[in-house]
C-alpha cells in the first residue's frame, strides 16, 4: 500500500468575537485546512508556509512553536494511507486570494461552527485535539 504525506497550517485569527479558524473548500468538494505536498529538500515548516501562501495568498502570519498535529486516514479512491502534519499559525489578515487550481471556496468560522463545516471525521478529531491544546495553554 502506498503512503501519501502532506503538510498544512491551522490558520487562526483573533477577533473581538473570539477566535476564528480558516477552512478551505478543496476542488474535490471537501472542507478542511490548507495543506499540500512537500517539494524535494523542503522542511515541514517550509512546506507548510509555501502551501499556505500559495493556496490563500496570506503572507502575514506567525507559525507557533506549539506541537504539530497529525491526522491519518485511508483514502479508498487512491488506495493509500494519507498522513497530514499541521502547524498552528495566527494570521493578521482575513482577505484571501485563493489558488483556483486547488481551492474553490473558503470561510472564517467561529469555534462552534468549525466541526460542522469540516468534511471528514479524522479532521474533526484532530480539531478537537487542537481545541484541547488551546484551552490548556489558555489561547482559547
Which CATH number covers residue 31?
3.90.79.10
What does pLDDT average to over the chain?
90
Which whole number is the average pLDDT over 2-23?
Answer: 93
pLDDT of residue 106: 94
pLDDT of residue 95: 82
Which residues face 69 on adjacent strands? 86
**What nine digits make up the cell of 58?**
496570506
Of all residues in the chain, the percent with pLDDT exceeding 70 is 96
pLDDT at 1 over 70: no
Which whole number is the average pLDDT over 6-34?
Answer: 94
Distance of CA 87 to the CA centre of its chain: 8
pLDDT of residue 4: 83
CA dist., res. 135 & res. 86, Å (int): 18
Domain that holds residue 76: 2-136
pLDDT tier at 116 (50, 70, 90 boundaries)?
A: very high
- Burial of 133 by CB count in 10 Å (0-12 exposed, 13-18 middle, 19+ buried)? middle
Q: Where are the beta strands (DSSP E) in the chain?
A: 2-15, 18-26, 31-32, 35-36, 61-63, 69-75, 80-91, 103-110
Tell me the pLDDT tens digit for each residue of 37-82.
999 999 999 999 999 999 999 999 999 987 899 998 776 776 778 8
pLDDT tier at 109 (50, 70, 90 boundaries)?
A: very high
Number of domains in the chain: 1
CA 77, 68, 127, 101 torsion-angle sign: negative
CA dist., res. 140 & res. 131, Å (int): 7
pLDDT tier at 120 (50, 70, 90 boundaries)?
A: confident
Amino acid at each position: 500500500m502506498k503512503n501519501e504525506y502532506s503538510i498544512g497550517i491551522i490558520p487562526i485569527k483573533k477577533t473581538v468575537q473570539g477566535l476564528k479558524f480558516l477552512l478551505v473548500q478543496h476542488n474535490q468538494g471537501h472542507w478542511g485546512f490548507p495543506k499540500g505536498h512537500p517539494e524535494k529538500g523542503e522542511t515541514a515548516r517550509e512546506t507548510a508556509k509555501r502551501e499556505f501562501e500559495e493556496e490563500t495568498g496570506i503572507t502575514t502570519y506567525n507559525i507557533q512553536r506549539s506541537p504539530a498535529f497529525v491526522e491519518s486516514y485511508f483514502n479508498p479512491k487512491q488506495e493509500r494511507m494519507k498522513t497530514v502534519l499541521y502547524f498552528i499559525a495566527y494570521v493578521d489578515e482575513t482577505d484571501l486570494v485563493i489558488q483556483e487550481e486547488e481551492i474553490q471556496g473558503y470561510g472564517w468560522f467561529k469555534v462552534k461552527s468549525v466541526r460542522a463545516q469540516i468534511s471528514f471525521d479524522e479532521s474533526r478529531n484532530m480539531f478537537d485535539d487542537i481545541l484541547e491544546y488551546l484551552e490548556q495553554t489558555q489561547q482559547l
